[in-house]
Amino acid sequence: MITEPELVGEPGPDTPPDVVSGFDPGRGPAAGGRRRGLLWAAAAGAVVASAVWATAVFAYGIGGDRKPDPRGYRVESDSCAAVELKALAKAVGEPAAEPSTELDGIEHPALHRIRCTVDFTVAAVRAPDGAEASGWSTGYQASLTAELHKETDPRPEFEASSTLTEIDDVGVDRVERVPDLGDLAYLLIMEDESMRVQVVEGGAVVTLTLSSWMSPPDIDSGSSGPPDAVDRPEMLAYRADLISDTRDVMKALKTG
């Protein structure tokens, strides 16, 4: 539970009046000495506080113009062309077309951002025995968001985002740390069974999301009755592929 900050050294109820108010009703020499001692202590405390503040400014850039390290990343309007999702293509099917660039990109002195999507070839849903599942088909889409922050460090906001319980109106089922990827990385498993890997490295933030959809057979094709229900593809099977492609995308953004 968060409580009110405690003031260190706050006078208590038994503290003599001269410590609380700064003077002694007796006005004796001892009182004057105590006053001088308190003044010297206050001055010394101010010097120490100033030194600590100066150290913080120097080390952390508080109040300065310290900018995040780009770490060699390049995020431009043509960066989507460098996206190759080889692991996912091998797992779920080849991309149906080249990556498409979304229209909500940003090129600003403080932030560059791109969004791009890759649609994979639609395939028939297979039953456990390998047979087609009554005409059902499934497709996958990967979406990439890459940001390069040039003025402010994105890490504090990135760390806070890992505690969200909902993103874009979709609940977050669970969050897992991904080791050895960027400065900090998370795998988010969503309630709609999509997955996303989020990474921060220096001033760059990269998010790669994999989602799927299913299409039932055409009920007007002569079949009698509604189509049989089938299980949705198991998305967690592609977790390693999603992480591997995120790593490759980050490399491409540094060399593209």
Q: pLDDT tens, 111-130?
A: 999 999 999 988 777 665 55
Q: Rounded mean pLDDT of 209-236?
A: 71
Q: Give the per-residue pLDDT at 228.
A: 60
Least confident of 53-62, 92-101, 177-186, 205-214: 53-62
Least confident of 42-51, 77-86, 152-161: 42-51
Q: Give the per-residue pLDDT at 206.
A: 97
- Whether residue 244 has pLDDT greater than 60: yes
Higher pLDDT, 13 or 123: 123
Whole-angstrom Cα distance, residue 105 to residue 146? 10
Q: Are 158 and 198 within 8 A, CB to CB?
A: yes
Q: Rounded mean pLDDT of 64-87?
A: 88
- Whether residue 250 has pLDDT greater than 90: yes
- Whether residue 181 has pLDDT greater than 60: yes
pTM summary value: 0.70
- 3-state DSSP of 64-123: CCCCCCCCCCCCCCCHHHHCCCHHHHHHHCCECCCCEECCCCEEECCEEEEEEEEEECCE
- Secondary element (H or E) of residue 204: strand 204-215
Q: Give the per-residue pLDDT at 221.
A: 52
What does the mean pLDDT of the chain come to?
Answer: 76
- pLDDT tens for 17-65 read 333 333 344 444 454 555 555 444 454 555 444 454 444 444 444 444 6
Whole-angstrom Cα distance, residue 58 to residue 67? 13
